[in-house]
Structure 1
Amino acid sequence: MELKDKIIKHFEGKVVRKDLTSLVKGNNPVPVYVLEYLLGQYCAIDDEEIIQSGIEKVRNVIRDNYVHRSDAEIVKAKIRNAGSYKIIDKINVTLNDKAANKYEADFANLGLRKVPISDKMVIDNPKLLSGGGVWSILTLAYSHEDGINMRWIITDLKPIQVSNVDLNDYIEIRKEFTSEEWLDLLMHSIGLNPESFSKRDKFIQLSRLIPHVENNYNFIELGPKGTGKSHIFSELSPHGVLVSGGDVSKASLFVNNSTSTKDPLGLVGYWDVVALDEFEQEKGSKRTDGDLVKIMQNYMANQSFNRGKETYQASASMAFVGNTKHNVPYMLKNSHLFESIPDGYIKGAFLDRMHMYIPGWEVRILKSSVFSKEYGFIVDYLAELLRELRKFDFSSVLDGKITLDGSLTTRDKTAIRKSVSGMIKILYPDHIVTDEELYEILDFCIEGRKRVKDQLYIIDETFKSEPVEFKYTIRASGKEVYPETLENLNYRAAVQVKEDSDLEETNSSSITKPILDLKPHQTILKDNQTGISYKKLFADYLKGAQNITIQDPYIRMPYQFKNLLEFCMMLGGNKALEDEINLEIVSWNDEIHLSDSISYFEELQESVTDLGINLTYRMENHHDRFIAANNGWKITLGRGLDIFEKIEGRFNVADLDQTKRKCKSCEMTYLKL
């Protein structure tokens, strides 16, 4: 059964085709969860006739009921003429504790201020008081009576959100999907086409959901513009609020001491996630409030903050998203990965509270081709499920499986466990996860915390006195694992390539190259890793071989034959000009395309002759992928030669330099026979 059919079968009425959102959104600044809430009422089924009818209904609702700021006076006139009218707008409520002693609502788009709202509506929907505003469908009436101070009356209000979800049902249905299918369903649900992303890319995208599923989770992502960093925090959940990092204050974020209201709590008291957008230092920006940093620092560590003599508890997670000023190699060499955030926050004690730092520089700029056109969860439905899962702690899945290194601090271990708990809730809410899948998540989460700690060693000297080792031991085997951040791997690889290049330039016939000590080992490449080339991976191990066999059943597509050509070029440069190498390829293709493969091989044979390579091929269907040479080395290949991601764009330096390409995750084992 195709994934789409499976999704509709198990989640009918709870999913929507993701391209419909853009069809009805147009230029309307309406959050995705508002549109999908409406689409879910009319289009949550795979019937083209019903979908087209539903789209028209939603368009009509947006046209007739959604309040555009530019049309505010027209809408007011409609309400006045009709007596009452249903509208969609974002409203915020405050208590007028002076003579009126009433709750009053402000309308974001309609522009009305201080409209009375009943106590019951506010009691039933306390988030209206949070200061962030709540999108609602409401009926607004108009009074023509003489001698009244306020003619506008709110007669009905319904926040735009799913009323209830069945978490147990959701968890049971999860068992009907494979891990890969579920991962792709979630990618569709956040509006992205999973086929455009590697598994690591998917993890990065979905990790943005952790603050929505974990209480008091501290998350930061810094990277280039246009990568969708703030999208999940502003558009995909009615339980999260996105505010400008430059405008946030102690009163708006935590508590307002200047008011006599009974409930002066700020944003953290009402929202599951508070995200600070544009969290970067701008020229001429106002100085950071040191007291705010201290209160925030205490809250991020202890889930509490003080108001005078009183202490308040809250469970809101904190997310910080901002843009980087320089590329990663520059930051690693000249500064640190937090360099772009406001100076007032670049303090060891504050940054040590971060549970995960996501490498936003790895996220591709979002283009139309990467957006989903298939079915995914109505985001409001997903948001409610994530909210329900906040009540649980899934970190116990690690117990008995691994032991984190003893040098790690309590904060390090807490960060890792909370991150793992969040990712398990998102990907394996049924708790059914294999050891291999668990370790993959654990490595990703350790990397997210290690990225923070690596920078603290640079920023704050006190952390250098207590160095930690980010490793864990698998209890069943005793194997020790040392996860590393990808930017460190890439930067070291790039430096090594540069050093190797400089060495080759300075070498002369009078200089003797060092003798390599080649040993059997395993190499693991990560998704998006760079600095890798066929020369770096294979050249030293194939040196001196006259006969080489490559077995790879998936040399089929033109780009895979191009990979083989580049491998041949590496071999040609790896030997003396006068030497020859016999290269045998064992591959396969289906019967329909077998003739294409033969044609490509014959063309390649002729092309590499001038390199001193005698290429032959056999079409045999073998599963294993390896390189075997008559110098005694055999290299097993998890993906064959197909280790690089597709190169984007027509003009890309990665076309000419393998070390600039992103890799696909795979393993290679080097054996001496």
Structure 2
Amino acid sequence: MSELDQKINEHFPGLVVRKDLVKTVKGNAIVPTYVLEYLLGQYCATNDEATIETGIETVKEILRKHYVHRNEAGLIRSTIREKGRHKVIDKVSVSLNDKRDVYEAEFANLGIKQVLVDTGTVKAHPKLLVSGVWCIADLEYEFTEDKDVSPWILATLKPIQLSHFDFDTYVEARKQFTTDEWIDLLIQSIGFNPEMFGRRSKLSQLLRLVPYCERNYNLIELGPKGTGKSHIYSEFSPHGILISGGEVSVPKLFVNNASGKIGLVGYWDVVAFDEFAGRKKKADKALVDILKNYMANKSFSRGVETLGAEASMVFVGNTQHTVPYMLKHADLFNELPEQYHDSAFLDRIHFYVPGWEVDIIRGEMFSDGYGFVVDYLAEILRSLRNHDYSDRYNDYFSLCTDISTRDRDGINKTFSGLMKILYPQGEASSEEIEEILKIAIEGRKRVKDQLMRLDSTYAEVRFVYESKSGESHAVKTLEEEEYPNYYYRIVGDGSDGEEVVVDGDTGAGETIVEDEHVTAETPGTITQATEIPTLEERHFVFQENQRGISYETLFGSYLKDATKITIVDPYIRAFYQIRNLMELLELITKIKPKENEVKVHVVTSKDPDGFKHEQQEENLQKISESALAIGIYLTWDYAKQNSIHARSITTNHGWKISLDRGLDIFQHYDMNDDLAFANRLQEARPCKAFEVTFLRSEK
């Protein structure tokens, strides 16, 4: 186990499970993750391998004997009849038979109905009345000739979820972890390997949890297919429900006026609409109107009566176009059905998760480390709904007075949710608080900036926060930094029928590099897929997940005409790091005259693992031999361990490029997929947060 896994098991004994075990036990059982982890938590919540192996077999046996497959329902019914009693795992829903004044259960996979349920069970578990709950139930069979009486008898019924937890113990244990360790624990808890994500990407994943710990929180995430947008809402928690297809009726969601039965918002903490996007989809205007009122006021009308609810609303959907395409031709909400592409509805959204920044899920991204049993974390998040952390930044920062009440509410709710998730103890440093405050502002700003494209009546807002020292900090979205020429335009019909382009608050084409403002045409500014046109001493800061960056746009102009190049980087060891070197040599080959030869010398460090060092040496030797044919002479030296502190590229014609991350500037991507553009084009890869400085040096 890693040091983090050991620490997790030490401070949360019996409440964590190894995340790869879910795949091991699932087989062909179509049950939610929280059901499997509930069972694994009963038998495998340990770090002892022998106990884990025994527990896995026990869970498999329980699923084999008691999980009801639809195609085996007849066999299970026969087993109950012959044995008289049998335990089953199935999804159970309950309805009131008002003609007989009794509650009746329906077992989804087993295919039986009208099973009597006592009132006490329904009162203890009211979600049985809405869409069903996964349960472990003991069923009995007793034949009767009375046609109105079901032969199926429910002996016991237990929803599969945690029975209790100690919140104070959870908070005390949190204090034993650093912020980075805690974030990695949470990422492992939702099933991912934290090593495959940068800081911003991790926080994007955790933002999906905010609706579970914040009442009446409205979140939208639009992005490419396959990024795991709906997973958190379908399998993570027994307190959330995912509506497939994104379509639901007013009575089902809010209240049935005929029966008086309250809908989904009255029973679930989170109601998520899957596949919400689709321009051609039709939506019930009455539903849109009542959603607007509920999202704004936490209430809805039933005839003359007004009811309230606490369910958070989540909307997830796929985008069909790239971000620059949407910004140039429409807006970032353009994929929504026409009825929802409405400024009054969208203004109720508290946060827009940029789904295009979330990488498509690959097998290597799943975790084999330890994380919370998801049902335990789900109960913790649910209990946090009773807390309010929205004012925790007031000791350090304040929001600009320009920010409206609705914008302020969105920012505060997101900030409160992230504080609960990351710092449930309620204490954080000013730097940590500033980090999540900026994220909260960015997500609401993304909503508001698009609203101003849709509706010119919205007033311009400065999304700025101020420190107690009086220093102002403007917040920008990442796509605002990446595509300034498109971000600030409003696309609409002018009086002459032509496109109308209106500049935003910082001016079309303007971008910010550190503290100086430079336009896209300013020499030295790096924009998408364009080389630096002139050689100047400059410093650049790049945000995590920024795209459109390549070695050519960064280094091409500075390496051109050099005949000797020295690369200092202690981490040219692993295969992907060796590949980075190879791609830099490809650039040098591309920009040098064919008749010229270039000497490239690498100063790196040995991999401490003997076997891996042999591979490192072998790979460097292969590149060296291959490079000879194209006029590049590659040599290398190994520096002493930890003796290299500054990473750089130096040329013999007067330039030194200082790199805080060396050549390792890209996020993880699938190097095994030859048909993925991220594998072929550096510009298609999201980058890590990094800085680069160009300095003149002695030749």
Q: TM-score, normalised by structure 1?
A: 0.86
Aligned to 1:314: 309
Aligned twin of 2:86:
85
Q: Give the match's secondary structure for 1:473.
A: strand
Residues 45-194 of structure 1: matches in 2 within 5 Å?
45-97=46-98, 99-129=99-129, 131-147=130-146, 149-151=148-150, 152-194=152-194
Aligned mates of 2:46, 2:396 — CA distance in 1: 42
User: Retained in 1: the 8 A contact 2:532–2:554?
Assistant: no
Letter paired with 1:554: Y
CA distance in 1, matches of 2:157, 2:169: 29
2:383 paired residue number: 388
Give the equivalent residue in structure 2 for 1:360: 355
Shift of 1:102: 2.0
**Residues 352-501 of structure 1 correspond to what in structure 2 (within 5 A)?**
352-463=347-458, 466-476=459-469, 478=471, 480-486=473-479, 489=482
The answer as to whether partners of 1:580 and 1:614 remain within 8 angstroms in 2 is: no
8 Å contact 2:216–2:313 — kept in the other structure?
yes
Q: Deviation of residue 552 (structure 1)? A: 3.1
Instruction: Measure the CA separation in 2 of the matches of 1:206 and 1:530.
Output: 22
CA gap of 1:76–1:44, structure 2 versus 1, over 3 A, is: same
Deviation at 1:235, TM superposition (A): 0.8
Tell me, yes or no, if the aligned pair for 1:91 and 1:135 is still in contact at 8 Å: yes
Moved more, 381-390 or 652-661: 652-661
What secondary structure, in the 3-state scheme, does the structure 1 residue paired with 2:131 have?
Answer: coil
Which has the larger displacement, 297-306 or 485-494?
Answer: 485-494
Shift of 1:566: 4.5
Classify 1:47/1:514 alpha carbon distance in 2 versus 1 (closer, same or farther; 3 Å): closer
Contact 2:249 2:287 in 1 (8 A): yes
* Post-superposition offset of 1:316: 0.8
Q: Identity over aligned residues, as a percent?
A: 48
Amino acid at match of 1:622: I
Tell me the equivalent position of 2:235. Answer: 235
Query: Which stretch has the larger CA shift, 312-321 or 147-156?
Result: 147-156
Paired letter, 2:42? Q
Do structure 1's residue 553 and structure 2's residue 546 form an aligned pair? no
For residues 559-578 of structure 1, the aligned pairs below 5 Å read 559-564=576-581, 566-567=583-584
Q: 1:580 to 1:78 in 2, by over 3 A?
A: closer
- AA in 1 matched with 2:190: I
Q: Which moved more, 1:470-479 or 1:1-10?
A: 470-479
Residue equivalent to 2:273: 276
Structure with bigger helix share is 1
Moved more, 634-643 or 610-619: 610-619
Mapped partners of 1:590, 1:89: distance in 2? 52
Change (3 A) 1:336 1:561: same
1:115-157 deviations in Å (ceiling 9; x for gaps):
321111111112222x221111122233334436223332322
RMSD, matched Cα: 3.5
Rounded to whole Å, the distance in 2 between the matches of 1:538 and 1:258 is 69
Contiguous gaps of at least 5 residues in structure 1: 501-512
Shift of 1:327: 3.1
3-state SS in 2 of match to 1:398:
coil
> How much has 1:516 moved relative to structure 2?
5.1
Q: Which residue of 1 aligns with 2:543?
A: 526
Q: CA deviation at 1:357?
A: 1.5
1:572 CA displacement: 7.2
1:619 pairs with 2:639: yes
Amino acid across the alignment from 1:95: L
Deviation at 1:610, TM superposition (A): 6.9
Of the structure 1 ranges 429-438 and 32-41, higher mean CA displacement relative to structure 2 is found in 429-438
User: Are 1:563 and 1:641, in contact at CA under 8 Å, matched by a contact in 2?
Assistant: yes
Residue 24 (structure 1) aligned with residue 25 (structure 2): yes
Matched, 1:37 2:38: yes
- Tell me the CA shift for residue 67 of structure 1: 2.0
3-state SS in 2 of match to 1:206: helix
Contact 1:86 1:140 (C-alpha < 8 Å) held by counterparts: yes
Indicate the SS of the match to 2:383.
helix
Aligned pair in 2 of structure 1 residues 624, 397: CA closer, same or farther (>3 Å)? Answer: farther
Per-residue displacement from partner, 1:290-348 (whole Å, max 9, x unpaired)?
11111111111111111112111211100111222233333222222222222111100
Gaps of 5+ in 2: 488-508, 511-519, 522-530
TM-superposed deviation, 1:393: 1.7
Q: In the TM superposition, what whole-angstrom CA distance separates every residue of 1:451-507 from its partner, at most 9, and x where no partner exists? A: 2223222222323xx1123333344482524332247516869999xx99xxxxxxx
Distance, in Å, in 2 between the alignment partners of 1:122 and 1:561 is 61
| C-alpha distance in structure 1 between counterparts of 2:381 and 2:310, whole Å | 14
Are 1:274 and 1:317, in contact at CA under 8 Å, matched by a contact in 2?
A: yes
2:196 alignment counterpart: 196
**AA aligned opposite 1:144:** F
CA distance in 1, matches of 2:134, 2:678: 45
Output one character per residue of 1:249-279: Cα deviation in whole Å (capped at 9) or x when no partner.
Answer: 11111111011x5xx2111111100111121
2:16–2:45 contact (8 Å) kept in structure 1: yes
Determine the C-alpha separation between the residues in 1 that align with 2:354 and 2:532: 37
Separation in structure 2 between the aligned mates of residue 514 and residue 150 of structure 1, nearest angstrom: 81
Structure 2 distance, partners of 1:615, 1:23, is 47
Moved more, 606-615 or 374-383: 606-615
**1:358 partner SS:** strand
Partner of 2:492: none
Give the CA deviation at 1:221.
Answer: 1.4
Tell me how far apart the structure 1 counterparts of residues 657 and 473 of structure 2 sit (CA, whole Å): 23
2 CA distance for matches of 1:63 and 1:557?
A: 43
Q: 1:50 to 1:243 in 2, by over 3 A?
A: same
**1:319 maps to amino acid:** V
Q: Does 1:8 align with 2:9?
A: yes
Report the residue type matching 1:174 in the other structure: R
Q: Cα deviations across residues 1-45 of structure 1 (Å, max 9, x unaligned)?
A: 722222222222111122221222112211111111111111111
Letter of the 1:60 partner, please give it: E
Q: Matches of 2:169 and 2:486 in 1, distance apart?
A: 47
Cα separation, partners in 2 of 1:578 and 1:492, compared to 1, 3 Å: farther
The residue identity in structure 2 corresponding to 1:427 is L
